[in-house]
Structure 1
Amino acid sequence: MSSLKIERDTVTETVKNAVTDHAVNKGGFVGSAAAAVAEAAHGQLPGTSGKHPISAVVGTALTGGRKNAGTKGYLAAYLQQLEDHPLRTKMLTAGTLAGSQELLASWLAKDRNKHGNYFTSRVPKMAAYGALVSAPLGHFLIWVLQKIFSGRTSLRAKILQILVSNLIIAPIQNTVYLVAMALIAGAKTFHQVKATVRVGFWRVMRVSWITSPICLAFAQKFLPENTWVPFFNLVSFIIGTYINTVTKKKRLAALRKKHFGDSRDSRAPGGSSVVGGPRPGGVGPEDYPPLGPNPPY
């Protein structure tokens, strides 16, 4: 076992040195990035241990660059809050991201309320959902997942962890998400909530099954466990913003066609433009979950 460990460490060191030499010779942005990762992998970047070189380099870039490496920057302060107050920090993070996602998607899709504002009633509702529902649920489920696989680092264990995440945890999270979206959209009966879940479940699951294994494998390899939930929230923010924006645009196009007879003609009677303006009659994507078609309420 000893000789095997020495041989493995020698191979690892050789690879690191090769990456460093290649980066120095190549130069440019790619070369500089590779050199920084190699330096962090050696533990030579101030404030880093060498255990997570890529996240160390990203963290250094986010907190002011090499000149501030090892100092208490924004990312370091955030990670400290995650360690000291994990649930509270995750709730604030998820609430901010959920509200920002809705606001950003509305702006990108030019989706305004009847008063002409992008800050629709969905924004605070989504923020509340992120902080009070999504974050506590994600915190608990990820804690259970990490508890089950604590100390198990074999390839088989990592694959099992991904399977459990996708076949058990993801369906729970997505079902709760769709129920919350139905309620935010105005569902008032069990039938309406059930219709939303039935229509949207497999659409959401397909997205999860594509992105979740990649994200979880990345987290297993490069990120400390206490950063997993915020990382997943960030990925969900990017994907959710895209899907929400596309859905809003399609919904607005359908509304224009319904109210004015032609999706290509964006002018209301009297010549007032509705492209990027208030919704016709004050209704539209705000009444409708961002994933999946509108259920027959």
Structure 2
Amino acid sequence: MSLQLEKPHPLLASYLQQLATHPLRTKAITNATLCFLQEVLGSHIAHMPVKKPAPDAPVLSHLLARAHVDTRAVKMALYGFLVSAPLSHFLVGALQKAFAGKTGTGAKLAQIFASNLLVAPTQTSAYLASMAIISGAKSVDEVINTIKTGFFAVIRIQWITSPIALTIAQRFIPVELWIPFFNAIQFVLGTYFNARVKQLRAAAAKKAAKEKDEGEN
């Protein structure tokens, strides 16, 4: 049974009010902010080297560089605002409407299966396509290859975490708090995987540079 929401914090109450009155806009701003922070925090956690601007660049440019605020972070924010939020809004909204008022065990299991077989694959494909474009893909074939290469690695994680999160939400989280709850989970996981990918890429680049030096010598 879901916990009853009593006297939420004023900030949370204000956020929930915005979700109720302007759902898509609020979700878009939220996702943009979280995607931006994931990118910045991922760079800090992975100890990525700072890309120093020109010596004569404005002070603000140097401060942003030290904070790992770069064009990729901005692009991630745009992805959250223009792709992730609208897609999640319509897919999850349709899922909630389809199972509204259905509290039986069969309905809950059906909701989990529908999420894993319909919602998750669509979101994963959109995410990988967007990451390919952000990373510099120049053609449709490059985008498709990125989706093919990373789809099952990403969807496996979705299939593990999504049922657990949805089960917890079904049992303990009031429906009005589902969006903040899922956002929090996605933010933590997204930040972790962002940092992990950066670490792996840095290690691979370092190994390739070392092998090149050894080959030249």
2:174 matched to 1:217?
no
From 39, 64, 77, the equivalent of 2:14 is 77
In structure 2, C-alpha distance between the alignment counterparts of 1:119 and 1:233, rounded to whole Å:
22
Partner of 1:105: 42
Partner of 2:98: 148
Query: How much does 1:95 deviate?
Result: 0.5
Higher-Rg structure is 1
Deviations 1:145-187 (A, max 9, x none): 1111121110100000000000111000100010000000000
Unaligned runs of 5+ in 2: 54-64, 213-217
Matches within 5 A, 1:6-155: 52-53=3-4, 56=6, 63=9, 73-112=10-49, 114-115=51-52, 117=65, 118-155=68-105
Question: Aligned residues, how many?
Answer: 199
Given that 1:178 and 1:200 are in contact with CA atoms closer than 8 Å, whether structure 2 keeps it comes out as yes
2:180 matched to 1:238?
no
2:136 matched to 1:199?
no
Unaligned runs of 5+ in 1: 1-40, 42-50, 64-72, 263-297
RMSD: 2.0
Amino acid at match of 1:86: P
TM (normalized to structure 2)? Answer: 0.85
2:131 matched to 1:181?
yes
In structure 2, C-alpha distance between the alignment counterparts of 1:231 and 1:112, rounded to whole Å:
33
Given that 1:98 and 1:126 are in contact with CA atoms closer than 8 Å, whether structure 2 keeps it comes out as yes
User: SS of the residue aligned with 1:153?
Assistant: coil
Given that 1:90 and 1:230 are in contact with CA atoms closer than 8 Å, whether structure 2 keeps it comes out as no
Query: How much does 1:102 deviate?
Result: 0.4
Query: How much does 1:126 deviate?
Result: 0.5
Instruction: Say which structure, 1 or 2, has more relative contact order (CA 8 Å, 6+ apart).
Output: 2
Amino acid at match of 2:3: H
Partner of 1:162: 112
Query: How much does 1:261 deviate?
Result: 4.3
2:109 matched to 1:172?
no
Partner of 2:215: none
Amino acid at match of 1:111: M
